[in-house]
Amino acid sequence: MVERVYIFKGFERFWHWSQAALIMFMMLTGFEIHGSYALFGFEKAVGYHSIAAWTLIGLWIFAIFWHLTTGEWRHYIPTMEKVLVVAQYYSSGIFRHEPHPFKPSQLNKHNPLQRLTYLGVLLFVSPLIWITGWLYLFYGNWTSWGLANLKLEWVATGHTIGAFLMLAFFVSHLYLVTTGHTVTAHIKAMITGWEEVESSDAANTQAGTEKSLSNQPWSPS
Amino acid sequence: MGLVSLRRSAGCVLAGLLYLFAASGVIADTKPLKLNTTADHSKFKELQREFQSGPEVTKACLSCHTEAAGQVHRTKHWKWEFLNPASGQKLGKKEVLNNFCISIASNYSACTSCHVGYGWKDASFDFTSEENVDCLACHDTTGIYKKPPGLAGHPQLKDVENPPGSGKITKGIDIAKVAQKVGKSSRDNCGSCHFYGGGGDGVKHGDLDSSLAAPDKDLDVHMDATGLDFTCATCHKTSSHDVAGSRYTPTAMDKGGAHMRGKEDKSNPATCVSCHDTAPHKQDARLNTHTGKIACQTCHIPEFARGGVPTKMSWDWSKAGERDAEGKQIVRKDAKGHIIYESRKGAFELGENVKPEYFWFNGDVNYTLATDKVDKTDGVTRINWLGGSPDDGKSMIWPVKVFRGSQPYDPVNKTLVKPHTAGNDDTGYWKNLVWDKAIEVGMKDAGLPFSGKVDFVKTEMFWPITHMVAPKEKALACTECHSKSGRLAGITGIYIPGRDANSLVDTFGWGIALFSLVGSVGHGLMRIASRRKHEEKENG
């Protein structure tokens, strides 16, 4: 049995894909600036990287507003419950064609591992990239900001670490997209908003779990 | 016909009348004027006479310009002496030596052809004499005023057979004509000495040669003869005959900003910042973030010696002294006809369109003087060297011409030496090719000890590059420095994106990215394999 669930709303999909495009483009230009290869030429790469950065800042302003006003931010509240079950699924159950122990819904669209990963990106990788990137953009103002003792090397190294973490996330993310009910189930969900989820008997036995997950911590019940 | 068009046609008629009025002579009656000066010196009685010597002209000048000689007396151009306030070193042409023609001691008559005075033939020259100030060297506008080497700064006024017995007559200069046509100093005036430093066109500086007499925009965006047409003094703003700017105490970092009329500002008026301010890039503000650490010259003078005149890059005095089969001196030239060997001077390497070397520079210039100890085992002796470091807060990255050479020194006293080179006598090296005699005379003249032993030591001099500013389109591209083996590859103490990376972070970073990739591929393969098994089981 396959059930269709509406998970990702219009703005969310727009946010995801435009952010994805910007981040890929910024990795492409960023690693050129870093000296890893030559593609656009340093001058153009810096220009494009900066424009993309400002665009992403604009996008984030809208995204933050959306998350706050709709309450969608709650999807990133971490939970340790069932983390091990989900981890176990990806490390063994998936090979035995067991159903996914987590069933996404509008109220609870991320499994506990996703919650932890996205929160990690939000709390660690993004701030690292944003703060160092912002400092990089305003290098000329450091003295007037009282940051004369700051060294570009520290900022650049921090920015590079953030970029590598983002790259690692990006690679894993691309792969995990294929681990849905079918290979294209997840990506279809992010395009159309509708996720196909398996609702076999095996999944039904997990229903209690799913319910308990969706009940907390802001369950409308 | 509307009111507007009526008015317009009335205007046309009026303009036409004015034109006719002018053409009929009413306006044309006004005498033509030289608009850049209030005086036509050819009308001055004092100058309408014959002059027997340079000092006679000076006396005539001083009869009106009463303070001029006194002003010149205070300058480096007159004294060839400079006390470096920071290091306490006594410098100036009179004191220092270099690795070009080495030193003026005992060679005054030749060297002082570039002195703003008359008659400095030996150490006894009277520096208080007003009439010995040479006004014409800097104020000639005719281009015929010349001071040949050997005359101690005097021009040649009478016809002379040169060389004697050759029948070739060198015409004397009509100095009265020169005096009647004096004017403000031009690039040619300054260039008659500064383009030829080191003994020939472009030899010494690399960014100053005769191509700057009338440069195009590509060669120098400011001096562009058909454009901005700056003279030297446009930047080297001169006050009371004291020309701004110094090779001994250059301004490496100018934080003062653009100069403003009426505001007292004693800072160097010849810096880029004194006009362009510290944030000059309007279109791409990102470039302004470079101005805290990089001298304007570094990007805006991509190469020196760009005007078609080669500059000397090295000079090996130890190769001097060869003679041909007949015992005569030898001159060898390269394919372009430029001299690369002379018996009297040694071997040269020349360069055109030369990329500078780059150094942190804070404005301190120190010298190895003839009184300082030199140790050959140190490898290379730096005759001058530039102070600077990435951390002193006063240094910028500067383009520099490094001039390398080998020159005579005294291995017993362990000093550089000042040889007697020029001069039609028994000891001048250029005529006799004998080192010990030449050095003995030169050192005696300088009042310095000489052991009689001669050896050669490798030397370097550092000449910051500041002229031949290219148009902005020709400034350095980003990747000239923002790349692994770019122009600033040797500069330490700063992080240059594109050049620098923390290798640990890079290894770790690519490592985790690869780990994610390998993990994903492995996981995926296992899924494919398990699916087959699953399907087989279901089908079986």
Minimal-distance CA residue of chain A relative to B519: A172
pLDDT over 70, % of chain B: 93
The predicted-structure confidence for A177-219, as pLDDT tens digits, reads as follows 998 878 888 899 899 988 877 765 444 434 333 333 443 444 3
Q: Tell me the two tokens of residue A15.
A: 């946010």
Minimal-distance CA residue of chain B relative to A162: B509
What is the C-alpha separation between A42 and B287, in angstroms, rounded?
A: 13
The domains located in chain A, with CATH, are: 2-180+190-215 (1.20.950)
What is the C-alpha separation between B289 and B280, in angstroms, rounded?
A: 11
Tell me the shortest Cα–Cα distance from A18 to chain B, in angstroms: 23
Residues from chain A that touch B521, judged by Cβ atoms under 8 A, are 175
- Whether the pLDDT of residue B295 is over 50: the answer is yes
Q: Which residues of B237-255 are buried (b: 16+ CB within 10 A; e: fewer)?
A: ebeebebbbbebbbbbbbe
Going by the DSSP 8-state scheme, the letter that residue A194 receives in this structure is E
The predicted-structure confidence for B273-291, as pLDDT tens digits, reads as follows 999 999 999 988 889 999 9
Contact A168 B530 (CB under 8 A): no
Contacts of B448 (CB under 8 A, 6+ apart): B370, B371, B415, B417, B418
Is any Cβ of chain B less than 8 angstroms from the Cβ of A37? no
Strands (E), B59-108: 82-83, 90-91
Q: Tell me the two tokens of residue B315.
A: 């000079």
Contact A157 B502 (CB under 8 A): yes
Residues from chain A that touch B390, judged by Cβ atoms under 8 A, are none
Q: What mean pLDDT comes out for the span B35-47?
A: 90
Minimal-distance CA residue of chain A relative to B485: A35
Report pLDDT for A195: 83
> Phi and psi at residue B223, in whole multiples of 5°?
-85, -5
Minimal-distance CA residue of chain B relative to A44: B478
- Whether the pLDDT of residue B299 is over 50: the answer is yes
Which of B249, B287, B291, B281 shows the shortest CA–CA distance to B266? Answer: B249
Going by the DSSP 8-state scheme, the letter that residue B162 receives in this structure is S
Nearest to B517 among A161, A163, A171 (CB): A171
pLDDT over 70, % of chain A: 89
- Whether the pLDDT of residue A173 is over 50: the answer is yes
In order, the DSSP letters of B168-217 are PEEPPP-HHHHHHT--S--HHHHHHHHTSTTTSTTSS-SS-SGGGSS--T
Tell me the shortest Cα–Cα distance from B520 to chain A, in angstroms: 6
Minimal-distance CA residue of chain A relative to B390: A151
pLDDT classification of B17: cutoffs 50, 70, 90: low
The predicted-structure confidence for B437-486, as pLDDT tens digits, reads as follows 999 999 999 999 999 999 999 999 999 999 999 999 999 999 999 999 99
Higher pLDDT, B72 or B123: B72
> Phi and psi at residue B66, in whole multiples of 5°?
-60, -30
Q: Tell me the two tokens of residue B22.
A: 């002018």
What is the C-alpha separation between B111 and A161, in angstroms, rounded?
A: 62
Q: Is it true that the peptide bond before B85 is cis, omega within 30 degrees of 0?
A: no
What is the C-alpha separation between B390 and B328, in angstroms, rounded?
A: 52
pLDDT over 90, % of chain B: 83
Is residue A146 packed enough to be buried (19+ CB in 10 Å), middle (13-18) or exposed (0-12)? exposed
Which of B398, B387, B363 shows the shortest CA–CA distance to B293? Answer: B398
Q: What mean pLDDT comes out for the span B168-181?
A: 94
> Which residue type does A119 have?
L
Which of B263, B273, B262, B271 shows the shortest CA–CA distance to B244? Answer: B271
Report pLDDT for A212: 37
In order, the DSSP letters of B270-300 are TSSHHHH-S---SS-GGGGGGTTTB-HHHHH
Tell me the shortest Cα–Cα distance from B532 to chain A, in angstroms: 10
Residues from chain B that touch A90, judged by Cβ atoms under 8 A, are 523
Which of B101, B4, B88 shows the shortest CA–CA distance to B403? Answer: B101
Report pLDDT for A204: 41
Report pLDDT for A77: 84
Is any Cβ of chain A less than 8 angstroms from the Cβ of B424? no
- Whether the pLDDT of residue A120 is over 70: the answer is yes
Q: What mean pLDDT comes out for the span A142-149?
A: 90
- Whether the pLDDT of residue B19 is over 90: the answer is no
Report pLDDT for A83: 83
Q: How many CA atoms lie within 13 A of B276 on its CB side?
A: 17
Lowest mean pLDDT among A11-20, B7-16, B240-249, B364-373: B7-16
Report pLDDT for A87: 85
pLDDT over 90, % of chain A: 49
- Whether the pLDDT of residue B320 is over 80: the answer is yes
Q: What mean pLDDT comes out for the span B59-70?
A: 97
Higher pLDDT, A205 or A8: A8
The predicted-structure confidence for B230-259, as pLDDT tens digits, reads as follows 999 999 999 999 999 999 999 999 988 899
Report pLDDT for B8: 58
Nearest to B530 among A42, A96, A175 (CB): A96
pLDDT classification of B536: cutoffs 50, 70, 90: confident
Nearest to B505 among A143, A161, A171 (CB): A161
Beta carbon pairs, A and B, within 8 Å: 97
Q: Tell me the two tokens of residue A187.
A: 């990506």
Residues from chain B that touch A139, judged by Cβ atoms under 8 A, are 289
Q: What mean pLDDT comes out for the span B43-71?
A: 96
> Do the beta carbons of residue A214 and residue A23 sit within 8 Å?
no
Contacts of B272 (CB under 8 A, 6+ apart): B254, B280, B296, B297, B300
> Phi and psi at residue B150, in whole multiples of 5°?
105, -15
What is the C-alpha separation between A56 and B337, in angstroms, rounded?
A: 61
Strands (E), B422-532: 455-464
Is any Cβ of chain A less than 8 angstroms from the Cβ of B393? no
Contact B285 A140 (CB under 8 A): yes
- pTM for the model stands at 0.87
Report pLDDT for A220: 38
Interface predicted TM-score of the whole assembly (ipTM), two decimals: 0.84
Minimal-distance CA residue of chain A relative to B291: A140
Q: What mean pLDDT comes out for the span B318-336?
A: 96
What is the C-alpha separation between A11 and A63, in angstroms, rounded?
A: 8
Report CA Rg, chain A: 20
Contacts of B29 (CB under 8 A, 6+ apart): none
Strands (E), chain A: 2-6, 194-198
> Do the beta carbons of residue B295 and residue B312 sit within 8 Å?
no
- Other Cβ atoms less than 10 A from the Cβ of B285: the count is 10
The predicted-structure confidence for A87-116, as pLDDT tens digits, reads as follows 888 888 888 888 888 878 777 778 888 888
Angle between helices A112-120 and A83-91 (to 10 degrees): 100
What is the C-alpha separation between B225 and B219, in angstroms, rounded?
A: 10
Higher pLDDT, A86 or B341: B341
